Amino acid sequence: MGRDGNAFVAGDATLRLVLNHNLDAKDEFRGLDWDVMFCGHTHGGQLKLPVIGPPFAPVHDRGYVAGLNRSERHQIFTPRGGGNLYGVRFNCRPEVSLLEIR
């Protein structure tokens, strides 16, 4: 938490974070001033087919199912996490993420 109570403050720069479970909410935050959204919910799609990608990801916008991705002027980070459905994951290894913000 930064000096202003809402954001991380490092020197003169302020980093505005959004923590949200479902990445589809990025559209609801479109008019707000934020830099990075950290979200979950997808588990990387759990099943990632070559060429097709994750056909069963539980989100509308499948372009942000895993990793750090740019959305307009924002960044969205979605870790794959460790969950699975019925013990199955294919071509989508579980991960624990460690992010260093500089």
Give residue 2's pLDDT band: very low, low, confident or very high (50, 70, 90).
very low
Domain of residue 30 covers 1-102
DSSP labels for the chain? Answer: --TTSSSEEETTEEE-EEE-S-GGGGGTTTTS--SEEE--SSGGGSB-BTTTB-TT-SSS-GGGSSEEEEETTEEEEE---S--BTTB-BS-----------
pTM to 2 decimal places: 0.73
The total domain count for the chain is 1
Which tens digits make up the pLDDT trace of 23-36? 888 888 888 888 88
